[in-house]
Structure 1
Amino acid sequence: MVGAVAMMLGATFAQAQESSTNRVDAMTDWSVFEGQNPRECWAVTTYKESVNTKDGRVVAVTRGEILLMVFFRPEAGVNGQVAFTGGYPFAQGSTVNVTVDGTELEMYTEGEWAWPATPQDDAKIVTAMKRGSNAVLTAVSSRGTTTKDTFSLLGFTAAVEDAETRCKS
């Protein structure tokens, strides 16, 4: 199931990147996308700051897309699923630490994707993000590099509520 979710998220975002015509709105630092077949809506943003370290030293690394998203896919029962891709394969068995204005939460990893363990954990992260100003996601790559990505939450609440509303109709 987890692998299927990772594949679905990867495929969904790849489709969004290929054609930006399904971007339907933008709220400050967040964008809203809507797709068909299957019906899905999501809010997404990229990082504002990224620091990569190895053995305690800042290092330059090449990474793919670094994105934080919240998905709605009514036919699959997905309602507000948080997902993060760090632009690299995560260390096997690792977790991503999510800190929103002092509140710490955790996401589990598989390949290049991370998400909360349960829908209840998704809801906790979304609630924290609605109340916060920044989200900091700290993870470890398969090569042992620690990444610390800071995301702005300006526009988050409006974007997530827009994505949710679009997928209810």
Structure 2
Amino acid sequence: MKYVLTAAMAMLVLSSATVAAQTPTRLNQFNDWGTYSYDANGAKVCYVLTTPKTMQPSSVDHGDIFFLVTQKGKAATYEPQVVMGYPMKDGSKVVVTIDGRAFSMFTRGESAWMENAAEEPQIVAALRNGKAMKVDATSQRGTATNYTYSLAGVTAALNSIKTCK
């Protein structure tokens, strides 16, 4: 039930760019990763989503935090995104580290995307093969935050949306 609610909240953030977006439908759950879809302007959009296992510092209200990977187009390419429960510092970067390999994301408001779109396949491959993921960000107030995520189920989740149409 938690994943359905968190996915719906993530859609509120995502739907700002897609006015016609509807409430997402939960497709499946693979360990710590859920799969979802929604219709946007007559096209089906599918994505995988997870929430952090730990949030630091524990003394602040983080809001709802998500890491998601959306399937783009018919070529089954993927777009990773971080959605925070707070606005991030203007001009700051989010750093996603998977098994020691760091990827940089640019921020806008409460979301972050890959700084270099050419690295999207690399981060997805790292997710599929990785054991641990950490996300570091800076809030608009200047608070350094970090989150750890489980990668259990991400490969099965990504595989399950390959044919999502």
TM-superposition CA deviations, 1:8-29 (whole Å, max 9, x none): 96217xx9xx856x00101000
Listed as ranges, the gaps of 5+ residues in structure 1 are 1-6, 53-58
TM-score for the superposition, normalised by structure 1: 0.80
Partner of 1:34: 37
Partner of 1:24: 27
TM-superposition CA deviations, 1:30-59 (whole Å, max 9, x none): 00001123310000000001112xxxxxx5
Listed as ranges, the gaps of 5+ residues in structure 2 are 1-10
Q: Structure 1 residue 10 and structure 2 residue 9: aligned?
A: no
Runs (4+) off by over 6 Å:
none
Instruction: Evaluate the alpha carbon distance shift between residue 78 and residue 142 of structure 1 in structure 2; reply closer, same or farther with a 3 A threshold.
Output: farther
Q: Secondary structure at the residue paired with 1:42?
A: strand
Q: Structure 1 residue 66 and structure 2 residue 71: aligned?
A: no
Percent identity over the alignment is: 31
The separation in 2 between residues aligned to 1:157 and 1:165, in whole angstroms, is: 14
**What is the 5 A alignment of 1:93-112?**
93-112=91-110
Q: Structure 1 residue 48 and structure 2 residue 53: aligned?
A: yes
CA shift, 1:72, in A, is 1.3
Structure having the larger proportion of residues in helix = 1
| Alignment coverage as a number of residue pairs | 151
TM-score for the superposition, normalised by structure 2: 0.81
The separation in 1 between residues aligned to 2:49 and 2:26, in whole angstroms, is: 10
What amino acid does structure 2 have at the position aligned with 1:41?
A: C
CA contact (8 A) 1:39 1:74 kept: no
Higher RCO structure, 1 or 2 (CA under 8 Å, sep 6+): 1
Instruction: Evaluate the alpha carbon distance shift between residue 137 and residue 29 of structure 1 in structure 2; reply closer, same or farther with a 3 A threshold.
Output: same
The separation in 2 between residues aligned to 1:96 and 1:45, in whole angstroms, is: 17
CA contact (8 A) 1:90 1:112 kept: yes
Partner of 2:85: 87
What amino acid does structure 2 have at the position aligned with 1:30?
A: W
The separation in 2 between residues aligned to 1:101 and 1:47, in whole angstroms, is: 16
Q: Structure 1 residue 151 and structure 2 residue 156: aligned?
A: no
The separation in 2 between residues aligned to 1:71 and 1:91, in whole angstroms, is: 24
Instruction: Evaluate the alpha carbon distance shift between residue 143 and residue 78 of structure 1 in structure 2; reply closer, same or farther with a 3 A threshold.
Output: farther
The separation in 1 between residues aligned to 2:100 and 2:92, in whole angstroms, is: 21
